[in-house]
Chain A
Amino acid sequence: MHVTVKAFAHLRDRFGIDETGVELDPQACVQDAWRAATGEDAMPKHVFAAVNLEYAQPGDRLHEGDEVAFFPPVTGG
């Protein structure tokens, strides 16, 4: 299935991903999107994920057309 991966802040700088499409197995989860987009095996603890604009966990299942985002701890305010 096809999902869109976005990365923000220093993760975007580090992996050179602004927005990219990845192909995953139908049973894929957030962590699989990380692997496909970055080439790294495990999501580091300090990397957060969102699916379709809501916070998500590495083990959350993905669906066709999902937008997955990866980003560092937030620092607004």
Chain B
Amino acid sequence: MAVELRASPFDPWRELAAAPGGEAPAGGFGATCAFVGTMRDFNEGAAVERMFLEHYPGMTERQLAAIVDETRSAHGLLDARVIHRVGSIEPGEAIVLVAVWSAHRREAFDGCRALMEALKHRAPFWKRESGAGGDRWVERNTPG
């Protein structure tokens, strides 16, 4: 599947090892590029104990699928895949895996970055951080 939301922890490296070529034809891809976002225990000056990742069931999947399709076309990718957590997340856990495959490196580097940036700006997710001071909705992304 090109897009998956996961309610429980996942290992992005096992996912890649299980499908090292994605759906790209064997022998057809020369480049793989992957990005993993991991939950940190510190953000904007405050310690973070855990996070809740809210989403909009239906719209989140639809927007991610559109982002994947658009990025594949725009960058000539052979395949692209997103796995994203939802629900409660602990520091050190993977939040997102973005992986892309292409014939050559330029498309892979550019496509992976483009997909991640589009996800950050368009995909309906909202982070609520919990720490000593209580709960706080994250208001903005860090610059890309």
Q: Which residues from chain A sit less than 8 Å from chain B, CB to CB?
A: 6, 8-10, 13, 50, 53-55, 69, 71-77
Minimal beta-carbon separation of A33 from chain B (angstroms): 16
How far is the CB of A10 from the nearest CB of chain B, in Å?
Answer: 5
Summed over the interface, the residue pairs from A and B with CB atoms below 8 Å come to a total of 70
Q: How far is the CA of A75 from the CA of B127 in the complex (A)?
A: 6
Number of interface residues of B (CB under 8 A): 28
**Contact across chains for B54 and A8 when beta carbons are under 8 A apart:** yes
A53 to B59, CA, bound (A): 5
Of the candidates A8, A10, A13, which one forms a contact with B124 in the assembled complex, judged by CB atoms under 8 Å apart? A8
Sample (26) of A-B pairs whose CB atoms are under 8 Å apart: A8-B56, A9-B54, A9-B137, A10-B126, A10-B137, A13-B137, A53-B56, A53-B59, A71-B126, A72-B139, A74-B120, A74-B121, A74-B126, A75-B125, A75-B126, A75-B127, A75-B140, A76-B53, A76-B84, A76-B96, A76-B119, A76-B120, A76-B125, A77-B96, A77-B116, A77-B119
The CA-CA distance from A72 to B138 in the complex, in Å, is 10
Residues in A whose Cβ lies below 8 Å from that of B138: 75
Taking a contact as CB atoms under 8 Å apart, the answer to whether A76 and B139 are in contact is no
Q: Which residue of A lies closest to B126 (CB)?
A: A9
- Kindly report which residue of chain B lies nearest to residue A10, judged by CB atoms: B137
- Asked if B128 contacts A77 (CB within 8 A), the reply is no
Compute how far the CA of A73 lies from the CA of B53 in the bound complex, rounded to whole angstroms.
14
Residues on A with C-beta less than 8 A from B125 are: 74-77
B127–A73 touching, CB < 8 Å: no
CB distance from B38 to the nearest CB of A (A): 11
Interfacial chain A residues near B37, Cβ < 8 Å = 77
